[in-house]
Amino acid sequence: MFRIALLLTMFLLACCNRKPPITEVYPFYDGKDLGVAYSPENTAFKIWSPTAVAVEIHIYKNGVGGTPIESHQLHREEAGVWALTVQKDLKGFFYTFQVETKAGKLEETPGIYAHAVGVNGKRGAILDLAATHPEGWEQEQRPQFVNRTDALIYEMHVRDFTIHESTNHQHRGKYLGLVEPGTRNPSGQATGIDHLVELGITHVHLLPVFDFRSIDEADTAARTYNWGYDPQNYNVPEGSYATNAHDPATRIREFKAMVHGFHQRGIRVIMDVVYNHTGATENSNFNLEVPGYYYRHTADGKWSDAAACGNETASEQPMMRKYMIESCLHWVREYHIDGFRFDLMGIHDLATMNELTATLLKEEPSLLFYGEGWTAGASPLPDSLRALKKNTYQLTDIAAFSDDLRDGLKGSVFNHEAVGFVSGAPDVEESVRFGVVAATNHPQVNFAAVNYFKAPWAREPWQCVNYVSCHDNRTLWDKLSISVSEKDETTRIRMDQLANGIVLTAQGIPFLHAGEELLRSKQGVENSYNQPDSINHINWDRKSKYNTTFNFYRELIALRKAHPAFRIKSAAEIRAAVEFMDSPARVVAYRIHAEQLGDAWKNIVVVYNGNDKPISLKLPSGFWTLQHDGQGLTNSKKKVQGTVAVPGIAMMILSQ
């Protein structure tokens, strides 16, 4: 029966003048030595290209321009590998591989395993990585991090954070700028890394910092801007964020100095990685080694495109899976990276993601992993095999973003006029409750009434990343400014504070977009990936203008860190400790039985009032101490009993 079906399929494809997708089975190479290995005595070159009929290595004096000073043919070895060792000291030189297939010679490539490149990443660089370590690198310690729900993530773009004239950074828009101490705005308030320490976050999430295509690294005036979701060389730092992109060692040394600087201030570093697609397609480094192999294809042999960027990679292919794992290991070992955020993670297959995390956690048990549990388009790989949000239960060590809470709080990101819980929408309380329990199973959540997912999708609370905005779409402040433009600024500030007040007190892992604590605006621009600094920069003058909002965020972060009741480690403990209370419409109230969680407070009541008017809420029996009055932490130690008045568009926290 199977043969009949196969023959019928082939017949139909032939009749439609289509070709089936690439199905060749290539040999698997399990060695750990692909790429370039340098020593003063020799340099070994090795590439996996089973479809090649010949492979050549070209040696150059410079990173761009000129002709090869020498070229050599590599020798075919087993399992599709080609190799050559050049017996001389090649330190400081550059190289390219050139693969020849039956169809002819392909363009030159630095190879997918390049660990150093010249300006704009077209040629690999030969250097001693150990010589790029900053002082104290080999002795440094990662900041302490035990439980995944202890994380407080702050997402930033390297250039945005220090480029504006409102901060006195020396290394504006550079790796080194991120860790410059002592920087201030004109009012004398902390900016940069001092601001992050003051805010209290535990992890910075860096938008792509691997080498990407869209920026001309030779353009020292930086006339172009991009987020960097167009990968070129996955295992090399982006050169435009270095002080000298022409020197291959500088970007490596300064990237390490940046990580070291964060670690010294108690902050861990997460990389935003984009293994789901490449910036180029036909002439990507992958295709210049093994044409077609690393990508998925549609039934008619075209490039499939679940990334909406021209292609999607095939993580289920054994050598692509191996590549992703070894690439992440390289960043952990060589650069001391503390975690990874996977762009469009729903494109990758479950088996690859589970093998990747298992391998990396053996290397460093404290790493943190999370990703987008969706795609930007259809994929030929069945949904049941992919790391989609609905399959998070099958991921052993990876969290996913909760768009349920995101849009429940502020309204759909795809409709700029849509409102949410904080901005006037009715009947979204269940989506907020769903966020409070971190998308886990809870007997008091009516999953049928949740806005998107109608069942718990997180096995444990650490698998749910709660957020209300990120680099994509409009900033929270811009979204509110458009969706409730008729409201005055004071009201919109209360909405902003309530939105992230919920994120910072809900279970799971809270995630903040850089500048939210300053009511960051991008002048209403929705997709700023290639917009100029004038749109994307963080204006540090806003810290002075909206210092009350900054303090609101800072105080809630400190409260979360001080009380394990807001960082519950398991779904079973959430079910036992979190009890939702009866409350009016557009109000979510719950009690945390905190004593059983080792908290200094015996009981906690948290109230979120989405109404624009105050409400009266009946409290559990006994006297309660008011800890947060809707504007900030209070030192009054005011005692209340029976009922409490909760201000409009505000949160309240009480304790026993």
> pLDDT value at position 229?
98
Superfamily of domain 578-655: Golgi alpha-mannosidase II (2.60.40.1180)
550: pLDDT strictly greater than 90: yes
Residue 20 has pLDDT above 50, yes or no: no
- Rounded to a whole number, what is the largest CA-CA distance in the chain? 85
pLDDT band at 96 (very low <50, low <70, confident <90, very high): very high
Q: In the Cβ-directed half-sphere of 531, how many Cα atoms lie within 13 Å?
A: 17
Question: For the chain, which residues make up each domain, given as ranges?
Answer: 35-132, 578-655
Residue with tokens 């080609």: 82
Closest by CA to 305, choosing from 332, 329, 281, 330, is 281
Task: Judge whether residue 3 has pLDDT over 60.
Answer: no
Query: Can you tell me the distance from the alpha carbon of 294 to that of 280, in angstroms, rounded to the nearest whole number?
Result: 13
Least confident piece of the model among 18-32, 321-335, 395-409 = 18-32
> For residues 224 and 533, what is the distance between their CA atoms, to the nearest angstrom?
9
- Cα separation of 240 and 255, whole Å? 12
Q: DSSP 3-state assignment of 483?
A: helix
Cβ distance 203 to 269 under 8 Å? yes
Residue 70 tokens read as: 């020498």
Is pLDDT of 12 > 80?
no
35-132 in CATH: which number? 2.60.40.10
Model confidence at 1: pLDDT above 90: no
End-to-end CA distance of the chain: 70
The SS3 call for residue 23 is coil
Within 311-385, where are the H helices?
318-335, 350-363
Q: What is the mean pLDDT of residues 642-646?
A: 97
Mean pLDDT, to the nearest integer, of 302-313?
98
Q: Which residues are catalytic?
A: 343, 372
Q: Is 503 exposed, middle or buried (0-12, 13-18, 19+ CB in 10 A)?
A: buried
pLDDT in tens, 133-162: 999 999 999 999 999 999 999 999 999 999
Report helix, strand or coil for 233: strand
Count of helix runs (H) and strand runs (E) in the chain: 14, 25
**pLDDT tens readout for residues 503-529:** 999 999 999 999 999 999 999 999 999
Please give the DSSP secondary-structure letter assigned to residue 66: S
How much is the average pLDDT of 353-367?
98
Q: What is the pTM of this model?
A: 0.95
Q: Is 191 helix (H, G, I), strand (E, B) or coil?
A: coil
Of 556, 552, 550, 551, give the one whose Cα is nearest residue 538. Answer: 550
Neighbour-count burial for 269-298, b at 16+ CB within 10 Å, e otherwise? bbbbbbbbbbbbeeebbbbbbbbbbbbbbe
Task: Tokens 């939105």: give the residue.
Answer: 499
**Is residue 7 over pLDDT 70?**
no
Query: What are 124's strand-pairing partners?
Result: 95, 117
Residue-wise burial string across 390-412, b where 16 or more C-beta atoms lie within 10 A, e elsewhere = bbbebbebbbbbbbbbbbbbbbb
Cα 131 from Cα 321, distance rounded (Å): 30
Model confidence pLDDT, tens digit, residues 248-279: 999 999 999 999 999 999 999 999 999 999 99
For the chain, state the CA radius of gyration. 26
Asked if 181 contacts 603 with a C-beta cutoff of 8 angstroms, the reply is no
Q: At what angle do helices 318-335 and 248-264 cross, to 10 degrees?
A: 70
